[in-house]
Every structure is written in structure tokens, then in C-alpha cells.
Amino acid sequence: MNAIETKIVDYIRQKFDAGKLSLTASEIMAIVVPTEHPEYRFKPSYKFALDRLLTRHVINAVATEDGVTHYFIGNFASRELRLSLGLSLEMLPRLNET
């Protein structure tokens, strides 16, 4: 991972540890992009960092019905996350089914 990707993952973990279930791209970029250089948001290293992390399965994402993508760490969106975003629980994996 490059420095920007590392900063993104660290920020998501920090918020997750503080109790937040997910973050939007806007929330992440507001912290990762230096305030003195908002134009960096359009640089490929920033613009595609979330996509690269998703592709490598470092982070995961779920989209709400209004099209906003929420990023989180884990293999799938937890019940709590899906409920907090108003998403259906039908797609959750069922454990211990026989």
C-alpha cells in the first residue's frame, strides 16, 4: 500500500474502533486530502485509492439505495451496519445452516 492508502485504512480503523460502522468517500477524503491542497482530491493517487483498496480486499463497501457508498473493514456488511443504513437483511450470510 502507498502512503495515501495506508492513511485511509488507518483512518477507517480509527473510526471503527471508536464505534463508527462505516464512512463515506467524502468523509474519508475530507481527512486524507491535505486542507491546504484541496485540488489533490483529483490526483489519481487520491482519486483511485479507495478503488485500489476495494480491489485488493483491504476494505469493503456497500451502497445505500440513494447511491452513497459506505466503506468499512470486514468481509461483509454486518447486521448493525445494514440496519443503520436502512438496507435489507436478506443478503446477509446465514451461519450454521444445515
* Rounded Cα distance, 50 and 4, in Å: 10
Give me the CATH topology for the region 3-84.
Arc Repressor Mutant, subunit A (1.10.10)
- Domain spans, the chain: 3-84
Q: How confident is the model at residue 97 (pLDDT cuts 50, 70, 90)?
A: very low
pTM: 0.81
Extended beta strands in the chain, E state: 23-24, 60-63, 69-72
For residue 95, is pLDDT > 50?
no
- For residue 74, give the nearest of 16, 19, 27 by alpha carbon: 16
| Residue 13 confidence (pLDDT) | 95
What pairs with residue 72 in β-bridges? 60
pLDDT digits over 7-41, tens only?
999 999 999 999 999 999 999 999 999 999 999 98
pLDDT digits over 41-58, tens only?
888 888 899 999 999 999
| Residue 76 confidence (pLDDT) | 83
